[in-house]
Amino acid sequence: MRVVQFAGWSGTGKTTLIEDVIAAAPPDLAIGVIKHLGGVHPFALDPGRDTTRFYERGARAVIGIDAVKGVTVQRSDTLFTALDRLSDAGCQLALVEGFKSEPFARVVIGDLPSNRCVLRNPGAHEVLDALDRFDEYVSPGGLLRICREQAGGNGAFECTGTLAVTPALAADRAALERLEARCASAPGVVAARVHGRVYAGAGTIVLALIAGDLIDGSAAFAAFAAAAGGATGPGGR
């Protein structure tokens, strides 16, 4: 899932550009949107509604579902847990409005200073044409979804995990491909995927695999963890 962050001063047109990107995107591109609701425009729950009353009584999460959609209100949330939910749901593109302090590559509207500006004041098609220049983010659940498609219904044991590694290893595509190949070739493994990500100077490897049974899956996961841990070098884990 590519993450495109839109940053700029209030009133510069971030929301309009995001709307234009959604409208211009191919219809088969699964898009999720996350908007920062802090600052001068806090999000207010509808007073008197059942979902509001449940939340005010202390529920950690409240979900309302009708015939065509669902709405979730959580007591605490972060950009990264929201990205996990979009990846879990199969989104291929996440459009993030705000969160200027988070370390993602971004589209900047107006004259806001930014260290990770990929595009400044672009049109919607310019954003879509430059998606490969933005960060890729895959949750464990999102990676498992890819494995399920690869497995085609085969396999009885599913496993996901994350491993803290050096940023150099998390960004080393060749090393990650070797780790993925080693895991995929383990006895009994039906599908395996590995993804590395580096944010704010920290490296993480995400693994998902599907195997024929618990024993084979556990052995493959243990072999992967040992190989990845050894690749980090001393003190890398």
> Tell me: the pLDDT tens digits for 55-85?
888 999 999 999 999 888 888 888 999 999 9
The amino acid at residue 178 is R
Shared domain for 114 and 151, answered yes or no, is no
Question: How high does pLDDT run on average in the chain?
Answer: 88
Q: Identity (one letter) of the amino acid at 192? A: A
Counting the structural domains of the chain, the total is: 2
Instruction: Compute the average pLDDT of residues 165-179.
Output: 91
Q: Are residues 79 and 160 in the same domain?
A: no
Question: For residues 227 and 185, which has the higher predicted lDDT (pLDDT)?
Answer: 185
Rounded CA-CA distance 187/212 in Å is: 9
Residues 19 and 128 in one domain: yes
Q: Which tens digits make up the pLDDT trace of 13-26?
A: 999 999 999 999 99
Show the CA angle centred on residue 138, arms to residues 87 and 94, nearest 5°: 50
Q: Identify each DSSP E strand in 126-236 by its residue range.
A: 135-136, 157-165, 189-199, 202-211
Q: What confidence tens digit (pLDDT) does each residue in 173-198 have?
A: 999 999 999 889 989 999 999 999 88
Tokens standing for residue 222: 């243990």
pTM for the predicted model, two decimal places: 0.84
pLDDT at residue 109 tops 50: yes
Element holding 96 (H helix, E strand): strand 93-97
Considering the domain architecture, whether residues 87 and 195 belong to the same structural domain is answered as no
Residue 42 — pLDDT band, cuts 50, 70, 90?
Answer: low
Residues 118 and 225 in one domain: no
- Say yes or no: 46 and 156 in one domain: no
